[in-house]
Structure 1
Amino acid sequence: MNERVVLEAGQAAPDFTALDQNGVSVSLSDFRGKRIILFVYPAAMTPGCTTEACDFRDSLAPLQAAGYEVLGVSPDAPEKQLRFAERDELPYPLLSDPDHHLLQAYGAYGEKSLYGKISVGVIRSTFVIDENGTLVHALYNVKATGHVARVRKMLGV
């Protein structure tokens, strides 16, 4: 496995193109001029990921009022992302990255430790990207519970 990149505030956010839950191609460049919150979760419809996704759903109105668009991404296929979006009424794009290209570009895939065991997989992360495509925050190894509240506090939303 390649050395994992770790992104930092001030860097250009890596561009990406991925299919959303409806099979529509979505690129970071589609959002130029808008602020983005890109959250990475390991697997659709698992308890922690559901908590985080629903917290973003429940915070969407104030985030959008403050000028942020929310995007979720995981390795799940678009069909599973669609079931997740429908089941939990998630109103924002859920991107599919089965080959981990987007996740690796953002440093959100690699070695991680869970209960003292080292494994390779998705690293729950959140990236805040400004209107010009520059990273404002790169948060790695975040907890599902309470994370959205922490992000809102950081952003003053």
Structure 2
Amino acid sequence: MSKPALHSPAPDFTAPVIGGDHAAGDTITLSALKGKPVVIYFYPKDDTPGCTKQACGLRDGWKKIAKEAHVFGVSTDSIKSHAKFIQKHELPFPLIADEDKTIVNAYGVWVEKSMYGKTYMGTERSTFIIGKDGRIAAILEKVKPEEHLDAVLAAL
């Protein structure tokens, strides 16, 4: 699937979430979030070097970004994996488990990747900023993990 276009309605979803104000067993529905923008950042895998650097960057800038938007990380990892990742790195924001790949497909970030000459399917590191109106306000593609926080704050 292709990515949703800028200014188009954000694909809605309901999915398992943990962290922030959410306990194990909770679900989140995108369309139920009202009042401020939503940042959804897609990342390949919990507790890998780049993904950890990206998540810790958001953690370290949490006071700035939390005032501006709801923030959710999304990967195809399980709630159990997310819980360990959150605890290990003291992440203040929730992570969404997309084990069935519904969300990564809806946002067009489940793509063919290659490493060491082998191709495989995986999550493209991309961030979508959804405005109060429920439309895609910005799309940040292939952002370097260490530059992610600044790019998100600039887009908000």
What's the TM-score once normalised by structure 1's chain length? 0.88
Give SS of 2:38's match. Answer: strand
Answer yes or no: is the 8 Å Cα contact 1:40–1:72 preserved in 2.
yes
* Structure 1 residues 68-107: aligned runs within 5 Å: 68-107=69-108
Matched, 1:110 2:103: no
What's the TM-score once normalised by structure 2's chain length? 0.89
Answer yes or no: is the 8 Å Cα contact 1:75–1:97 preserved in 2.
yes
Matched, 1:8 2:12: no
The percent of aligned pairs where both chains have the same amino acid is: 38
Q: Which runs of 5+ in 2 are unaligned?
A: 19-23
Answer yes or no: is the 8 Å Cα contact 2:73–2:95 preserved in 1.
yes
| Counterpart-to-counterpart distance in 2, 1:40 and 1:94 | 10
Q: Which runs of 5+ in 1 are unaligned?
A: none
| Counterpart-to-counterpart distance in 2, 1:60 and 1:139 | 19
Q: What corresponds to 1:31 in structure 2?
A: 33
Answer yes or no: is the 8 Å Cα contact 1:39–1:127 preserved in 2.
yes
Give the drift of 1:116. 6.1
* Structure 1 residues 39-50: aligned runs within 5 Å: 39-50=41-52
Q: What corresponds to 1:55 in structure 2?
A: 57
Answer yes or no: is the 8 Å Cα contact 2:138–2:155 preserved in 1.
no
Deviates more, 1:53-62 or 1:94-103: 53-62
Deviates more, 1:50-59 or 1:110-119: 110-119
Deviates more, 1:137-146 or 1:19-28: 137-146
Give the drift of 1:8. 2.4
Deviates more, 1:142-151 or 1:13-22: 142-151
Q: Deviations 1:41-98 (Å, cap 9, x if unpaired)?
A: 1111111101101111111211122x21111010111011011111111111100001
| Counterpart-to-counterpart distance in 1, 2:131 and 2:114 | 30
2:148 counterpart letter in structure 1: H
Deviates more, 1:123-132 or 1:28-37: 28-37
Q: What corresponds to 1:134 in structure 2?
A: 135
| Counterpart-to-counterpart distance in 2, 1:19 and 1:63 | 23
2:128 counterpart letter in structure 1: F
Q: Let me know the Cα RMSD of the aligned residues.
A: 1.6
1:57 counterpart letter in structure 2: R
What is the count of residue pairs matched by the alignment? Answer: 151
Give the drift of 1:113. 4.1
Q: What corresponds to 2:123 in structure 1?
A: 122
Give the drift of 1:109. 0.6
